[in-house]
Structure 1
Amino acid sequence: MSGDGLAARRRRIGRLTVAGQRLGYLLYLVAAALFFTGLATSFRNPVVTATIVCLLVGSLVLAPSIVFAYAVRAADREEPLPED
């Protein structure tokens, strides 16, 4: 694979990891807000279901994003990309 293709791919993966982390943490924030809303009122099934779904989807998005972000940083340390 050429250096330019590798650089573009690494940058694209880096952007996706940032977006994945933002989405994952946002879903955790929504889950916390739903939990405390349910705690303040009464836990109804839709609130509990939405909280659990936000936690599960947030975990499924956030975990790989964090791992790939570390991989991109390690690759940048090992073999820095040329500046544009």
Structure 2
Amino acid sequence: MSNRHDDPVRRKRAQVAKWTLIANRVGYLLLALAMALFVIAFAFGFSPTMASLIIGSLVVSFILLAPSIVLGYAVKAAERDDVERGL
């Protein structure tokens, strides 16, 4: 049996986990930015620029979050399965 650190599948899984964590953090940050911009625009008046910033940050956050959440759960499930099998 090979060492856990030598396994190419585990290395790739760790790399995917790292990138999904980054995408999650950036995605949620952009979602928070969109909410903050919406509150500011609501308080001071909507402009076309503000609406574009809100929509843009929402779209990018959804593009980042959708696959990163799914891949994050997949990595966690694969790791949990490996532990249950004793690998």
TM-score by length of 2: 0.86
1:77 is matched with 80
- Indicate which of 5, 14, 19 corresponds to 2:17: 14
Measured in 1, the distance between the counterparts of 2:10 and 2:72 equals 15
Displaced runs of 4 or more, over 2 A:
none
Deviation, structure 1 residue 54: 0.5
Q: Return the index of the structure with the highest Cα Rg.
A: 2
Structure 1 vs Structure 2 CA RMSD: 1.7
- Indicate which of 48, 66, 70 corresponds to 2:69: 66
Measured in 2, the distance between the counterparts of 1:42 and 1:69 equals 38
Percent identity between matched residues is 37
Gaps of 5+ in 2: none
Gaps of 5+ in 1: none
The count of residues paired between Structure 1 and Structure 2 equals 81
2:50 is matched with 47
Measured in 2, the distance between the counterparts of 1:75 and 1:16 equals 16
Measured in 2, the distance between the counterparts of 1:46 and 1:34 equals 11
Q: Secondary structure at the match of 1:79?
A: helix
2:37 is matched with 34
Deviation, structure 1 residue 4: 1.6
Deviation, structure 1 residue 78: 1.1
